[in-house]
Structure 1
Amino acid sequence: MFPEPFFHGGADEVTPGCWKADPSIQSFLSQQNGTLSQILETFINKTLPIITSHNKTAVYWEDVILAPDTWNNGPNNTKLLTAAGYRVIVSSWEFYYLDCGHGDFLGNDSQYDRPPTSSDVDSNGGSWCGPYKTWQKVYNYDITHGLSEVEKGRVLGAEVALWSEQADGAVLDARVWPRAAAMAEAMWSGNRDEKGVKRYAEATDRLNEWRYRMVGRGIMAEPIQPLWCLRNPGMCNTVKPFVAQ
């Protein structure tokens, strides 16, 4: 059923509070005189042999190694993992989580009960991983930033993620496309030209045309420019490249 060589074993976002509140877990720990870390270790020790027995390479979230795929702390955790000799699939929430920037799904979230001048909510819109990840931010991410050549060789690739707390079939196409295509181009072709300059203008034209191709095929991808820009290539670019101050 799954011909690819990898199988994901999970183990992400272990929440100690849940284990501490679970009577069966506490009973097990008291009998074994164990720790919460040993519970996670037990899970890995049981799932890893099952995965490898089917000639698959096991994939786990970074929590297994870094204990609090690489999804957190951007290039810093990628560096920690590759420096330790692990192969990595990058899925950093700061760049690749497509569900971010839509608030939160909790109905009694007190963080919204703030004065209108409060920056706590304004900074991320109440979304734990806000703000919204634009296609430019997705495209901009260099997943091997700060790595040595040896460490770069341990980065297998990357993936965008769309978690479904606030996404369903009605919004799926627009949440995924064309942002996922921006990541795909950066992975396949790189996001810089032969001079090392980011190819935003070229990428914009390609993604814009690709977006309309998808719409023509019934995929309701989100627009990235007005239709006028597609009909007048280059006319929506800035006259002078933006230079950060």
Structure 2
Amino acid sequence: MSWVKINTFHWHITDSQSFPLEVAQYPELAMNGAYSPQEVYTESDIQYIVQYAGSRGIDVLLEIDTPGHTAIIGTSYPDYVACFDATSWLQYANEPPAGQLRFALPEVVNFTASLLVDVAKTLPSYYFSTGGDELNTNCYADDYLTQQQLNSTNTTLNDALNTFTQAAHGALISAGKTPVVWEEMVLDWNVTLSNETIVMVWISSEDALAVAERGFRIVQAPSNYFYLDCGAGEWIGADPTGNSWCDPFKTWSESYTFDPLANLTEAQYELVLGGEQILWSEQSGPQNLDPIVWPRAASSAEIFWSAKQPSGAALNVTEALPRLHDVRYRMVQRGLNPIPLQPHWCALRPDACDLYA
């Protein structure tokens, strides 16, 4: 990352399947929620990664996604999670297992705010993500405790989410952190957020304008350009002809055509803080990390740092290709395993393999 001036590591460290993060105040979360005692990030592990990144000019932005993607918390706090491991999971979640925080319950609000602050205060970054994506309303519609709470307080699910988010973000802000959320919190739920909140646009590049019109700062990460794991095929079983939801594979050249300021007014340009290329781990791990990420992710550095070529000219895929070849070969020399962009013959002959050469 430091070789190509990518300066933030956005670490989505927990999810529905596993809570591998040790939290001193809540040791049961990792004890019950990690795959095994060996597959845990200790506090010293976290500090090592933060320091390693910091010495290379990289900030670590941690994310504990809430209130969705939290099924695994039910192994420690079964009363805090609605539709825990319910079947069919497809009715209640975007991926298995089902389970989401019962954010309408006051005790869950307090627990979540405490958990987030307990983690955030151990980190030097000014930013902390509370997630907020892919909430499944069926889960709450069929949950007795949630409906009982909403009825007894004469509130809606949206009201409860607003209260939950404000409590979590208020605690983080008091701890000196700037909250970060996924776009649904703004566009689907219209949650009341601090003006300082940063919104990650991920569903589509078309969504940035709607977020900007509400005055929020933006990190551009649209799946139609920047999702590195697209194109690997369906990972859900019993679907032999299925594709990944964000097919096709996102080539570096397709990503390179992205305009971070498209559709925005000049007054809104300053709201765009930058962008990120995202890799989820359903089909990735240490064995294939390098070729999935590199050198494709390097193309985003030029887009978001300058939106120009080194010469000052506008971005151009043909002109960028030789530079990206150089990056790829340097990575190979330094021990990485990045995927080739073209046959070696083409790399040695600039323009020889152009479409109309």
Q: In which range does the TM-score fall when normalised by the shorter chain?
A: 0.7 to 0.9
1:195-223 Cα offsets, whole Å, 9 max, x none, are: 64x42122111111211111222211111
Note if 1:79 corresponds to 2:196. no
What are the within-5 Å matches in structure 2 for residues 33-48 of structure 1? 33-48=154-169
Do the aligned partners of 1:95 and 1:133 also contact (CA within 8 Å) in 2?
yes
* 1:31 alignment partner AA: S
Counterpart in the other structure of 2:17: none
Give the distance between the partners of 1:108 and 1:224, measured in 2 at CA: 33
1:23 aligned onto 2:144:
yes
Distance apart, 1:109 and its partner CA? 2.8
**Aligned letter for 1:106?**
I
Q: Which has the higher helix share?
A: 1
**Structure 1 residue 140: Cα displacement:** 0.8
Structure 1 residue 161: Cα displacement: 0.7
Structure 1 CA distance, aligned partners of 2:164 and 2:335?
A: 43
Q: Which residue of 2 aligns with 1:237?
A: 354
Residue 133 in structure 1 maps to residue 133 in structure 2: no
Q: 1:226 aligns with which of 301, 318, 343?
A: 343
1:52 and 2:169 are equivalent in the alignment? no
Per the alignment, residue 120 of structure 1 pairs with: none
Q: Is the 1:138–1:183 Cα contact (8 Å) retained in structure 2?
A: yes
Cα distance, 1:85 vs structure 2: 1.0
Answer yes or no: is 1:151 the counterpart of 2:268: yes
Query: Match of 2:178, as an amino acid?
Result: T
Asked if residue 102 in structure 1 is aligned to residue 219 in structure 2, the reply is no
Give CA deviations for 1:66-85 in whole Å, capped at 9, x if unaligned.
116111231x3111111221
Find the aligned partners of 1:139 and 1:11 in 2 and give their Cα distance: 28
Contact 1:139–1:186, Cα closer than 8 Å, also in 2 = yes
- Whether 2:201 is the aligned partner of 1:70: answer yes
Mean Cα deviation higher: 149-158 or 33-42:
33-42
Does structure 1 conserve the Cα–Cα contact (< 8 Å) formed by 2:203 and 2:223? yes
| Partner Cα distance (1:205, 1:48) in 2 | 45
Q: Give the TM-score of the pair, scaled to structure 1.
A: 0.84
Q: SS of the counterpart of 1:166?
A: coil
CA distance in 1 between counterparts of 2:308 and 2:224 reads 18
* Deviation (angstroms), 1:238: 4.0
Q: Deviations over 1:109-159 (max 9, x none)?
A: 37x3xxxxxxxxxxxx62211111011111111011011111111111111
In structure 2, the gaps of 5 or more residues are 1-121, 190-199
1:191 Cα deviation from its structure 2 partner: 4.7
RMSD: 2.0
The C-alpha deviation readout for 1:151-210, integer Å capped at 9, x for no partner, is 1111111111111112111111111111110111211232567564x4212211111121
Structure with more contact order per residue of length (Cα contacts < 8 Å, sep ≥ 6) = 1
Query: 1:54-75, CA deviations, whole angstroms, 9 ceiling, x for partnerless residues?
Result: 222111111111116111231x
Q: Matched residues in 1 for 2:223 and 2:288: separation? A: 20
Larger mean Cα displacement after TM superposition, 137-146 or 30-39: 30-39
Helix, strand or coil: the match of 2:201?
coil
* Inter-partner Cα distance in structure 1 for 2:228 and 2:143: 33
Q: Distance in 2 between matches of 1:22 and 1:165?
A: 28
1:32-67 per-position Cα deviation (integer Å, ceiling 9, x unaligned): 222221232122111111111122211111111111
DSSP 3-state at the match of 1:49: helix
Secondary structure of the structure 1 residue equivalent to 2:219 = strand
1:102 shift after superposition: 1.3
Partner residue, 1:119 = none
C-alpha distance in 2, partners of 1:39/1:218?
A: 50
Alpha carbons of 1:23 and 1:105: their partners in 2 closer, same or farther (altered >3 Å)?
Answer: farther
